[in-house]
Chain A
Amino acid sequence: MKPKWIGLGILIIVMAAVIGYFILTPKPVDKINGYLGGEKIGLFEDENFKKEMAKKYSLELNYRKAGSLDMIKADKEGMSYLFPASQTALELYRAEIGSPRRYEIILNTPLVIYTHSLVRDSLQEAGIVFESNGSYFMDMNKFVAAVKEGKTWADIGLPQLYGSISVKTTDPTKSNSGNMFAGLLANTMNGGRVVDSTSVYKVLPDLKDFFKRMGYMDTSSADLFDQFLKMGVGSYPMIAAYENQILEFAVTNPDIWKKVGDDLCIIYPTPTVYSSHVMIALDEKGDYAIDALMDPVIQDIAWKDHGFRTGISGTQAETDVFGVNGVLSQITGVMPMPDFRTMDIIVNELSN
């Protein structure tokens, strides 16, 4: 073989190797990190979600679990996004850090009450809970009245439960679902009107009393929900958490759901408040993650497998795919949360 041909041969081999490298090696996946509210871990750990993210967007979303309000103040070194469960957290970000480079509401889910049939039936008899078209609702005025009166579980026919009627929540100063329940209670105590930075002072003593009686509180809605499911009605007679949590659990654990599904109940507070899961980008990769999460396929996974309502209206046509009784297709009676300044007053008062 002539030397000239050898040279060309080598060139061809090298070129083929280079081309082959680019064709055969998958695009490098961008690994990014951020803080995530515990209620969305199921979604971020979902294999389909991960595959779709990697395939379409070359993205691997890592996370560290943190409460929605805690994460705003946490160390953000090496973090590309924050994904809290509320707009209050976004407002807190604006107040503490400044205008975010980009943010977007990705998912929605209402705040609901979970309990066991035993408790629901007693509450219904006591007139605090009512039923309509197979769904259950809690009259927040009546609930607050019962709490103020100091009614015990024994008073409504449940002597086997310890203490006064109450709803357990996460720590309202650290985690979003508890924070939202505090906002909802404040509105209710204010005669059903949204409290503002003046009217809030009237309701603070009762509000503080409510949370003081709760003692130790979880800081993550995922942990609270897990404990509610496992520790039984005696430990957690009623909790406030997100609607998506029970839907996700039913989809992910169909065998267990078959056995326990009839005992677990979802009750919609009237009015209720909406949790808007808003992603805040901290750098370019965070911007990109927002685009990826708005992808219709991803949004479909979020609803069907994890129970997050998507789109602006939050109306979902198919609610019976989950096998959970009494899920509303449209959430009505939604009340706005108090504004950030008012919530700040509430959080400060509850921190003391």
Chain B
Amino acid sequence: MSKKAFISVLLIFLLLLSACGGSKKNDNQNSGSKQNVFGTGGTLIRIVSGSENKELEPLIEQYCKKNKVSIEMTYMGSIDIMRQLQAGAANYDAVWPASSIWISMGDKDFKVKHTESISLSPVVFGIKKSLAEKIGFVDKEVSINDIMSKINSGELKFCMTSATQSNSGACAYLGFLSGLSGNPEVLTKEDLQKQQLREDITNLLSGVDRSSGSSEWLKTLFLNGNYDSMVNYESLIITTNQELVARGEEPLYLVYPYDGLSISDSPLGYIDRGDKNKEKAFLDFQKYLLSERVQSELQKLGRRTGYEGVFDENKGVFKKEWGINTDRILSPIKLPTADVIMEALNLYQGEFRKPSLSIYCLDFSGSMAGKGEKEVKEAMDLILDQQKAKDLLLQANPSEVNQVIFFNSDVIDSIIIDPSTEEALNELNKRVKDQSAGGGTDMYRAMTEALITLETYDLNKYNPAIILLTDGESGGSFEDFKAAYEELGQDIPVFSIMFGDANPEQLEEVAKYTGARVFDGRENLAGAFRSVKGYN
């Protein structure tokens, strides 16, 4: 080989290497993920899983300790898992969404095999027991229309996960559509076009007082906040209740709408790429999960399992006084075909869901100059350019409100877009691109400015959120913001997406105070946005 040829081969090799690295990063960007690795050494099984399985981590850890195997859990909404599968899921060896439909809608080239349902859990309403009694939902067959009438009368509000991100939200939403369409045998595209249904579903979703990107985090939110009810898996409501009771608080009463029920079947499947060792390691792990001992542990976490129902020893987990009866037959609605499901999800995002009121506080202080500034502009482009937003199922609903507050140590400028038409959002996008960085930092000042906007809106009609895009190094006073926040007296989450030389400390403090979260926009921008938008 000549020297020249050698160098070109070397170059190609290096290029390939960097391309591999690059693509890995990209994949992460699309995922909105968080990883936890258990065990050391041995075969590594990388599982992309719904967040509801986070509760199973102690069982996974035990298994990895005893066996020569490592398991990496990456949590994602079921709909993002479907998108991963469609894109080849190169970073994963196994999928574990909340429902089989996401595997069959995502696995176009039949790579997934050995799929087995690990446990079952219906998607239900958990309502504070005293409220459930008050509105007459205890010991009664409840329909979707019954629920809607309680929402219309203002007696019931609920938290749920985003239908375009999480299986529990998607299933509940499809159940609503079916119930509101007068229980057709199965929901069709024609049903989705009906004016009455469009009005009814918009009304029903107006009862959502907090939204979340994942089922597990919805539980956390619920336990930390002051809410009346949530739509979630029976299992997560049972574990919520266990905690509420331990705290001496009132548990939730479970309501199973008979004309809008769906069941999560938690399928765990292997992505076959011909690695026999990995396949065996996977099958052994799956066998462990399906063993009688582990199935019994799953029941203790409120999951129904297997062929024969709940074991006698665990009957006490499923308490009658919480409205649960495992002997009763669960009769879910029929899920519509894949194209109807996708159409329904697009309508949810673009039209039916409660409009969001998003106030973006963009840090244009001196410390953001250069890299940070560039990243923030790219981020805003992703959400304001409607073509890009639609690819991520993040498109704006015209009736939503978007505000951008540019800040350094002061508020530089502030622009409100209402209604959020495509043209208006394009204008706003241009304006963001023109802004340059300089000066000191006071994010509290900008957040307080955001509260002033919020005061002028009827917040029952919106899902409000403040979203900070910053490096997190701020002067000013948190106490001043707190005072203004208390005065407004509303439940407004302040999410942060970090850029530049990010420092999360101050941001975590704000997130904790307002019931929100901090995301890293540098590693995982699309994922961070999908997460934030899942919450409002």
Residues of chain A touching chain B, judged by Cβ–Cβ distance below 8 Å, are 35, 41, 62, 64-66, 70, 74-75, 160-164, 212-219, 223, 226-227, 229-235, 256, 259-260
Contact = CB atoms under 8 A, between A and B. Distances in A.
B336 A216 contact: yes
B337 A215 contact: yes
B341 interface: yes
Contact of B329 (A62, A215, A216, A232): A232
List the 6 shortest-distance A-B pairs measured between CB atoms, nearest first: A215-B186, A234-B331, A216-B335, A215-B334, A162-B331, A213-B185
Interface of B: 100-101, 104, 109-113, 115-117, 120, 183, 185-188, 258-259, 263, 265, 272, 274, 306-308, 328-338, 340-341
A218 B104 contact: yes
A231 B265 contact: yes
Contacts of B338: 216
B100 A218 contact: yes
Contacts of B337: 215-217
Contacts of A75: 109
Nearest to B332: A235
Given A227-B100, A235-B263, 9 more contacts: A62-B274, A65-B113, A70-B110, A161-B329, A223-B100, A230-B306, A234-B331, A256-B307, A259-B308
Contacts of B187: 215
18 contacts: A41-B113, A65-B112, A160-B331, A162-B331, A162-B334, A212-B188, A215-B186, A215-B187, A215-B334, A215-B336, A215-B337, A216-B101, A216-B336, A217-B337, A227-B265, A232-B330, A234-B330, A235-B263
Nearest to A235: B332
Nearest to B107: A219
A150 to B, nearest CB: 9
Nearest to B333: A162
Given A218-B104, A235-B263, A212 B186 contact: yes
A65 B113 CA distance: 7
Nearest to A168: B334
A64 B110 contact: yes
Contacts of A35: 110
Contacts of A214: 186, 334
A65 B110 contact: yes
A214 B328 CA distance: 23
A223 B308 CA distance: 18
B332 A162 contact: yes
B18 to A, nearest CB: 28
A259 B307 CA distance: 9
B111 to A, nearest CB: 7
Contacts of A232: 120, 329-330
A122 to B, nearest CB: 13
Nearest to A234: B331
Nearest to B188: A212
A164 B331 contact: no
Nearest to A35: B110
A162 B330 CA distance: 9
A48 B88 CA distance: 33
A235 B122 CA distance: 11
A260 B308 contact: yes
B111 A230 contact: no
Given A70-B110, A226-B117, A260-B307, A216 B274 contact: no
Contacts of A233: 329
A226 to B, nearest CB: 6
B225 to A, nearest CB: 33
A219 B272 CA distance: 18
Contacts of B116: 226
A231 B113 contact: no
Contacts of B110: 35, 64-66, 70, 74
Given A64-B272, A230-B120, A230-B265, A235 B100 contact: no
A227 B307 CA distance: 10
Contacts of A226: 115-117
A66 B110 CA distance: 6
Contacts of A219: 104
A216 B341 contact: yes
A231 B109 contact: no
Contacts of A229: 307
Nearest to B267: A223
Nearest to B306: A230
A35 B336 CA distance: 28
Contacts of A74: 109-110
B100 A163 contact: no
Contacts of B117: 226-227, 230-231
A65 B265 CA distance: 20
A215 B186 CA distance: 6
Contact of B185 (A65, A160, A161, A163): A163
Contacts of A227: 100, 117, 265
A227 B120 CA distance: 10
A212 B116 CA distance: 27
A41 B111 CA distance: 14
A323 to B, nearest CB: 15
Nearest to A38: B113
A341 B529 CA distance: 50
A164 B332 CA distance: 13
Contacts of B109: 74-75
A65 B111 CA distance: 7
Nearest to A174: B104
Contact of B332 (A62, A223, A230, A234): A234
Contacts of A162: 258-259, 331-334
A119 B329 CA distance: 12
Instruction: Identify the interface centre among B185, B328, B330: most chain A CB within 10 Å of its CB.
Output: B185
Contacts of B336: 215-216
Contact of A163 (B113, B115, B263, B334): B334
A231 B331 contact: no
A5 to B, nearest CB: 46
A74 B329 CA distance: 40
B371 to A, nearest CB: 43
Given A64-B113, A213-B185, A223-B115, A235 B104 contact: no
B356 to A, nearest CB: 29
Contacts of B340: 215
A231 B263 contact: yes
Nearest to A159: B331
